[in-house]
Amino acid sequence: MKNSILIKRVILVFCMISIMIIGSGCAAKKTVLENQGKTECYLDEKDATKFIYNGQQYTILNNTVDKNSLGDWIGFIQKYVALDENYNILKKCDMGVNVVGDLSDLIDHTDGTAYYVPYLNVCPLKTATCGCHITGK
């Protein structure tokens, strides 16, 4: 009887520690990126074709850019997003280490989704004075 109570307590402690470690992974990733000089960027809540970098709003164009024309990596969004056909955000979730779990959670809880989009990193164009490219979109 005492052994079963001890085993239950050990399992409970193990589960709690696992949840804490998994939960802190996203915060740690964000901190590492910021320590590398990367700026967190934010999607416009009303229109997912726009994002904010250093307080400035940029429009995401539906263009493909050659990798050689990109400058250094300067920012990150790091989100999976479910969009309707008008590019309104239905749901978004942070990218974690459990890609399958993140995507299944996104898919399971969104009706009327037209697009699932990964927003990754922000890089300026080498030749433009104002322009950024988001990898993954």
Q: What is the DSSP string of 69-132?
A: GB----EEEEEEEEE-TT--EEEEEE--S-HHHHHHHHHHT-SS--EEEEEEEEEEBSS-SS-E
Higher pLDDT, 17 or 90: 90
* The two three-digit tokens of residue 13, written as one number: 């402690």
* The two three-digit tokens of residue 92, written as one number: 């978004």
The reported pLDDT for the residue numbered 24 is: 43
pLDDT in tens, 73-111: 899 898 999 999 999 999 988 888 778 878 888 887 777
Question: In Å, what is the CA distance from 95 to each residue of 29, 77, 102, 121?
Answer: 10, 9, 7, 12
Of the ranges 14-18, 50-54, 112-116, which one carries the lowest mean pLDDT score?
Answer: 14-18
As a whole number of angstroms, the distance between CA 15 and CA 129 comes to 50
pLDDT in tens, 39-69: 899 999 888 999 999 999 998 888 888 888 8
Higher pLDDT, 62 or 23: 62
Radius of gyration of the CA atoms of the chain, in A? 19
Contact 89, 114 (CB under 8 A): no
Average pLDDT, stretch 111-132? Answer: 80
Looking up tokens 């399971």, which residue turns up? 108
Whether 20 has a pLDDT exceeding 70, the answer reads no
